[in-house]
């Protein structure tokens, strides 16, 4: 099935947050600090205020107070340790380009011009932004300090750091620079106070309900007085998972000038005013027996966070469950720096961890002179060794075999640098990915209308994976109707609540709710049909009925049919509605460990003189449960693989530590991969359902699409050249 919104998107008819035009709307442009740490001594706004079209210039001294700021903790979910940045709260500067003022004008151009005229004087403190320089100051996250059972605590199975005493071992340090989501759509909001205590926002977010709750608490108004609209989201990859200072700044401005205010970040501001994948240092140690059984793994990681908020992510989880090893040690730390707070980015934590783990697997296999595929299969876990539970489903070996076949793994040579295509060195590499198969509480409303169409609504979002399409398909299957008769609406807080789009859990969560709402609708139809004395369905039970082509029929007598619309007519109903909530309440869930799995294979060519790398072929295979829609699921895998190519070869932001300021903050300097960097990416799914997780049998795809790609490419580069690059991105200068 094709994307339901494909035509809207390619024709420009899909409307994104920044495209909303409200009557009397004004435009806000943020002014960022030019120091990294310290205090604002004074702000000179005179020139800006005098500039044409300027309505107001707001900063901590004159901005309306945000009632939520005085609460002990900022209303962000999930609650971090510390305090998310409170825009215009006081004179403190915590990171470079922190928003210190907003200029509101009658046009965007005038606001942008005047914003340049705002000048601040600072009292500067010494800052710390260089991760590697300050690495020794890393700390155990407070959550773990407070709760010895917290998963972020150190983990020791068997003997601690047992690899150290072993004869056959590898040890290495890995660095991943700060990466930015950089979706094409810039972060944007239109904030509109419809009344003193009624707020509507057209906001780029992955969580309409989360955003609604956050702003209700922030402004101390009833939740139902906040309306959040995010009908289309032009990519997000995680940076819409919680609210950011520019959103509150727009709402503050709208309050002050008493007009709707639109704020759209610039590309440069996307590097400081929203989150990012944190800089991470990792160390791996691994040992194995001569015949390829892993005897010990130690995996340490330090991730960057801000000075005012503790961001943590699950970098090491996979190391505890991916491979059999009697001894496993993991240690996780965070390093607070004078930077803005990170946020989850596609494959959060796991993608970082997989780079180290899957590189070390390749290094170990090489020491053992063993095929890395064989080495992985040999150490495959048949149940979750950490939780000592069976997998709900795990078809990783099947995925590996599929992928190996498609990439031509048999052409791979054990010895690096031995395969050539003309001047170019050829190499093959693989990497495995995994991510928890999650499901959350979600609800949906289904309405059958007199014309025989069905409208479904849920307050989820679609940041690009094709949620709308998948939901239409799920509903069509559930209702026994043609998909063209079904419309799915999302991205509004007025719809039944759903969780944020994240953690690869939307199909499992919202899809289950859509299915439940459709089932509920069918039951209502069945009751009506069988309750009608004149009907040939009289007395029929729900189980005895079939729903197909918009009609109910008796399973025993398929020719006894009644169309949905006729049932409505008989009942003299204009429409029929059912709303259902669905949640992960299957008790079986506790008896299993639930994960999605992926494996990525890369063929690369490296030019020995110039260090150019070409990924010439990629194959990504996934065990992601039942596949609802092959096209959108395939798109997800391809997009994730391209993201992984960026992580491996091109992406990484650089701060000049002297100033604490990014020096690679546009698309000319921060390189997201382009078409020419992406080969034909072949995708294959095992496509076997996992009904423990949810009634649809799906598992998540979004994260595993990217997790494991970067090490697959790094490993292929090693296989081509014999050069082991442990610091991403692998640019030509590292290979000559």
Partner 1 sequence: MNQFQYVRPTKNKAAIDTVAKEQTAMFIAGGTNLLDLMKRGIVVPEKLVDINKLPLRKIEKENGAVRIGALALNGEVAEDKLVMEKHPLLSQALNAGASAQLRNMATVGGNMLQRTRCPYFYDTALPCNKREPGTGCGALQGYNRMHAIFGHSDKCIAVHPSDMSVALVALDANVLVSGPKGDRKIPFSEFHRLPGDTPQIDTNLQKGELITAVEVPETAFTKNVNYLKIRDRASYAFALVSVAAALQIENNTIKDARLAMGGVAHKPWRLTDAEKALVGKPATEQTFRQAAEIAMRGAKAFEHNQYKLKLGPNTIVQALKNAAAAV
Q: Which residues bind partner 1 (CB under 8 A)?
A: 34, 52, 109, 112-113, 116, 607, 609-612, 614, 649-650, 654, 656, 658-659, 661, 663-666, 668-669, 671, 673-677, 729, 731-733, 736
The Cα–Cα gap between 117 and 297 comes to 56
Query: Please, which residue, 52 or 531, has the CB nearer to partner 1?
Result: 52
As measured in angstroms, the least distance from the Cβ of 87 to partner 1 is 19
Of the candidates 374, 405, 703, 727, the residue annotated as catalytic is 703
Quote the least distance from Cβ 634 to partner 1, whole Å: 23
Task: Give the pairing of strands 226-229 and 280-288.
Answer: unpaired
> Tokens representing 574?
């204009």
Closest alpha carbon to 29 in 111, 96, 100: 111
SS3 80: coil
Partners of residue 426 on adjacent β-strands: 605
Of the candidates 230, 221, 217, the one whose C-alpha atom is nearest the C-alpha of residue 194 is 221
| Cα(354)–Cα(360) distance, integer angstroms | 9
- Closest approach of partner 1 to the CB of residue 127, in Å: 14
Q: Is 703 a catalytic residue?
A: yes
State in angstroms the smallest separation of the CB of 614 from partner 1: 7
Q: Which is nearer to partner 1, 79 or 116 (CB)?
A: 116
Q: Which residues contact 64 (CB under 8 A, 6 or more apart)?
A: 252, 255, 256
Question: From CA 711, how far away is CA 432, in angstroms rounded?
Answer: 8
Q: How far is residue 450's CA from residue 394's CA, in Å, rounded to a whole number? A: 45
Q: Which is nearer to partner 1, 399 or 642 (CB)?
A: 642
Q: CB-wise, 160 or 657, nearer to partner 1?
A: 657
Closest separation in Å from C-beta 671 to partner 1? 5
Q: How far is the CB of 674 from partner 1 (least distance, A)?
A: 5
Q: Is 660 left (phi over 0), alpha (psi -120 to 50) or beta?
A: left
Between 586 and 678, CB nearer to partner 1: 678
Question: Would you call the peptide bond into 300 cis, given omega within 30 degrees of 0 as the criterion?
Answer: no
Alpha helices in 147-207 (DSSP H): none
Query: To the nearest whole angstrom, how small is the minimum distance from the Cβ of residue 427 to partner 1?
Result: 18
The residues pairing with 375 across neighbouring beta strands, listed in sequence order, are none
CA distances from 206 to 219, 499, 500 (A): 21, 9, 5
Q: What helix, strand, coil percent values describe the chain, rounded to 5?
A: 30, 30, 45
**Of 52 and 158, which CB lies nearer to partner 1 in the complex structure?**
52
β-pair partners for 431: 600
Paired tokens of 222: 């009833």
Smaller CB separation from partner 1, 533 or 676: 676
Q: At what angle do helices 709-721 and 630-645 cross, to 10 degrees?
A: 50
Residues labelled as active-site residues? 703
């Amino acid at each position: 099935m094709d994307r339901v919104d494909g035509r809207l998107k390619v024709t420009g008819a899909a409307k994104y947050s920044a495209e909303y035009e409200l009557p009397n709307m004004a435009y806000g442009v943020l002014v960022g600090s030019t120091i990294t740490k310290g205090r604002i001594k004074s702000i000179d706004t005179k020139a800006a205020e005098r500039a044409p079209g300027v309505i107001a210039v707001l900063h901590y001294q004159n901005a309306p107070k945000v009632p939520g700021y005085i609460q002990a903790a900022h209303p962000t979910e999930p609650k971090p340790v510390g305090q998310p940045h409170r825009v215009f709260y006081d004179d403190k500067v915590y990171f470079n380009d922190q928003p210190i003022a907003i200029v509101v004008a009658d046009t965007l151009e005038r606001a942008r011009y005047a914003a340049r005229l705002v000048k601040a004087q600072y009292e500067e403190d010494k800052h710390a932004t260089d991760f590697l320089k300050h690495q020794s100051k890393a700390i155990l996250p407070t959550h773990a300090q407070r709760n010895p059972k917290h998963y972020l605590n150190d983990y020791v199975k068997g003997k601690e750091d047992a690899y150290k005493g072993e004869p056959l071992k590898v040890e290495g340090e890995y660095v991943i620079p700060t990466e930015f989501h950089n979706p094409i759509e810039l972060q944007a909001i239109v904030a509109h106070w419809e009344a003193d205590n009624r707020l509507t926002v057209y906001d780029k977010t992955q969580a309409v309900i989360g955003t609604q709750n956050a702003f209700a608490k922030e402004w101390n108004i009833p939740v139902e007085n906040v309306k959040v609209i995010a009908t289309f989201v032009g990519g997000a990859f995680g940076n819409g998972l919680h609210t950011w200072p520019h959103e509150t700044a727009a709402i503050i401005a709208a309050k002050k000038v008493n007009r709707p205010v639109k704020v759209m970040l610039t590309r440069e501001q996307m590097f400081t005013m929203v989150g990012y994948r944190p800089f991470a240092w990792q160390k791996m140690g691994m040992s194995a027996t001569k015949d390829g059984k892993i005897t010990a793994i130690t995996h340490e990681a330090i991730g960057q966070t801000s000075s005012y908020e503790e961001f943590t992510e699950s970098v090491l989880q996979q190391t505890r469950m991916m491979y059999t090893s009697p001894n496993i040690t993991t240690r996780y730390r965070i390093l607070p720096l004078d930077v803005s707070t990170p946020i989850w980015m596609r494959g959060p934590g796991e993608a970082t961890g997989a780079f180290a783990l899957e590189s070390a697997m390749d290094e170990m296999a090489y020491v053992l002179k063993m095929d890395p595929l064989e080495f992985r299969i040999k150490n495959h876990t048949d149940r979750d060794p950490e939780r000592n539970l069976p997998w709900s489903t795990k078809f990783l070996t099947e995925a590996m075999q599929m992928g190996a076949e498609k990439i031509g793994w048999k052409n791979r040579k054990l010895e690096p640098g031995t395969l050539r295509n003309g001047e170019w060195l050829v190499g093959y590499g693989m990497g495995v990915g995994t991510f928890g198969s999650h499901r959350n509480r979600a609800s949906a409303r289904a309405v059958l209308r007199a014309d025989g169409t069905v409208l479904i609504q849920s307050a989820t979002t679609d940041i690009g994976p094709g949620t709308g399409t998948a939901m239409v398909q799920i509903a069509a299957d559930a209702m026994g109707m043609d998909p063209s008769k079904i419309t799915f609406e999302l991205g509004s807080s007025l719809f039944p609540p759903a969780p944020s789009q994240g953690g690869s859990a939307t199909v499992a969560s919202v899809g289950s709710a859509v299915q439940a709402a459709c089932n509920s609708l069918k039951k209502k139809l069945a009751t009506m049909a069988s309750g009608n004395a004149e009907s040939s369905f009289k007395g029929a039970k729900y189980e005895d009925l079939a729903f197909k082509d918009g009609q109910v029929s008796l399973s025993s007598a398929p020719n006894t049919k009644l169309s949905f619309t006729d049932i409505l007519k008989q009942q003299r109903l204009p429409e029929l509605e059912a709303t259902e909530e669905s949640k992960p309440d299957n008790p079986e869930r506790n008896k299993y460990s639930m994960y999605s799995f992926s494996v990525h294979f890369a063929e690369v060519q490296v030019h020995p003189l110039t260090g150019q790398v070409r990924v010439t072929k990629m194959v990504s295979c996934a065990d992601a449960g039942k596949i609802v829609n092959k096209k959108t699921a395939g798109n997800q895998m391809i997009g994730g693989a391209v993201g992984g190519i960026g992580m491996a070869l091109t992406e990484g932001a650089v701060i000049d530590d002297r100033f604490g300021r990014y020096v690679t903050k546009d698309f000319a300097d921060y390189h997201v991969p382009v078409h020419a960097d992406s080969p034909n990416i072949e995708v294959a799914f095992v496509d076997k359902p996992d009904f423990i997780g949810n009634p649809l049998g799906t598992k998540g795809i979004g994260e595993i699409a990217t997790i494991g790609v970067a090490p697959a490419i790094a490993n292929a580069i090693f296989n081509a050249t014999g050069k082991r690059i442990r610091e991403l991105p692998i640019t030509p200068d590292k290979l000559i």
